[in-house]
């Protein structure tokens, strides 16, 4: 194992349970996979979520697939290995597989974000399948003529170059991503290290409240003049990642999009607008979401204007467990 591989594993080690361990998973009806970037990484406490669901009668195993700054292609690399490992879970036909995916405007609208930087993490997922996904996503950007088209073209050139460097230097050896779920990234709580203005929090709560009204996202969007349109789709869909899309459709009985609490109004409005589309199933922003956000009117609940602190994560995880039960996607 090379030095870069070791550094990557140290960075992402998370003590996941082994899905093939029969004694550990024999009584867990629900297998929940939570996929996301830094919002999820700081907001979803897998152990707390599992405990709260268990206390309500929903025995579950929770796997958190999240990394700060992870674009869709890195997440796809992690997710592909996760799906392969989840297939080892015994008695799969007796379980309920649930997939939760963080929607994030920055990565959905700019799928090649972070791909310019050649580092251990990029080397870990810069493989031929990734290069193909980058090419397809960039082609879509160009055809839709979005505001990200030129940026994505440049980034895709970097991505193709880095994939070539990876293949030339490392040959066709296994990619430098964790090969077992127990080595995957997960919940990484942090304490507050900055003052988040109360006005910033209140503005976000007002934006979330506006989304409760019919056409609230559209009206708020017009006020903010954000360059988001109603036809944006998740990038890791049947067009960009057809094999992974089919594998996940076969494995997961329920798939839901979600958004951890944030003060970034752009992300809230984007989420609300996406969830208004008929083909996207969401853990939607509702009265309980706004009420829980209203508990966070203090800097101690935030690391910064984007992310929750440990205390904030406890509030969001509690909301998530309650909402999952209310959605009826879990089995007892």
CA distance 245 to 258: 18
Q: What is the pLDDT of residue 202?
A: 94
Q: Which two tokens stand for residue 55?
A: 């206390």
pLDDT in tens, 162-201: 555 554 444 444 444 455 555 565 788 887 767 889 999 9
pLDDT at 226: 53
Q: Average pLDDT of 113-126?
A: 63
- Count CB neighbours of 223 within 10 A: 12
What's the average model confidence in pLDDT over 260-270? 91
Residue 301 burial (10 A CB sphere; 0-12, 13-18, 19+): buried
CA distances from 162 to 2, 194, 325 (A): 18, 36, 43
In angstroms, the CA 291 to CA 275 distance is: 19
Angle at which helices 265-275 and 198-210 pack, to 10 degrees?
10
Q: What is the pLDDT of residues 229-242, one digit of tens each?
A: 444 555 556 666 77
Mean pLDDT score of the chain: 76
CB 319 within 8 A of CB 293: no
Please identify, in words, the CATH class of the domain defined by 12-110+179-327. Answer: alpha beta
Q: Please, how many CA atoms are within 13 Å of residue 224, restricted to the half-sphere of its CB?
A: 21
Give the contacts of 60 (CB within 8 A, at least 6 positions apart): 28, 29, 30, 31, 32, 49, 50, 53, 54, 330
**Global pTM value:** 0.82
The domains of the chain are located at: 12-110+179-327
């Amino acid at each position: 194992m090379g030095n870069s591989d070791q550094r990557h594993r140290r960075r992402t080690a998370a003590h996941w349970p082994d899905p093939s361990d029969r004694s550990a998973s024999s009584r867990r009806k629900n297998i929940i996979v939570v996929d996301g970037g830094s919002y999820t990484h700081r907001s979803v406490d897998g152990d707390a979520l599992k405990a709260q669901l268990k206390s309500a009668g929903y025995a579950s195993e929770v796997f958190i697939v999240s990394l700060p700054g992870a674009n869709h292609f890195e997440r796809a690399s992690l997710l592909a290995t996760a799906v392969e490992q989840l297939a080892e879970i015994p008695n799969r036909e007796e379980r309920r597989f649930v997939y939760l995916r963080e929607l994030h405007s920055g990565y959905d609208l700019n799928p090649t974000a972070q791909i310019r930087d050649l580092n251990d993490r990029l080397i870990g997922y810069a493989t031929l399948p990734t290069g193909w996904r980058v090419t397809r996503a960039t082609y879509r950007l160009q055809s839709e003529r979005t505001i990200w088209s030129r940026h994505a073209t440049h980034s895709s050139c970097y991505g193709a170059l880095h994939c070539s460097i990876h293949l030339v230097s490392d040959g066709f050896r296994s990619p430098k991503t964790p090969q077992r779920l127990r080595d995957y990234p997960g919940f990484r709580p942090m304490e507050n290290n900055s003052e988040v203005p109360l006005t910033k929090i209140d503005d976000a709560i007002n934006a979330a409240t506006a989304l409760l009204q019919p056409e609230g996202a559209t009206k708020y969007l017009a006020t903010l003049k954000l360059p988001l349109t109603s036809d944006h789709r998740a990038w890791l869909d049947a067009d960009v990642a057809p094999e992974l899309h089919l594998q996940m459709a076969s494995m997961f009985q329920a798939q839901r999009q979600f958004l951890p609490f944030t003060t970034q109004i752009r992300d809230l409005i984007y989420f609300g607008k996406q969830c208004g589309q008929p083909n996207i199933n969401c853990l939607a922003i509702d009265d309980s979401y706004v009420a829980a956000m209203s508990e966070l009117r203090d800097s101690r609940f935030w690391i910064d204007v984007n992310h929750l602190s440990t205390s904030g994560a406890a509030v969001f995880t509690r909301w998530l467990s309650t909402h999952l039960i209310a959605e009826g996607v879990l089995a007892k």
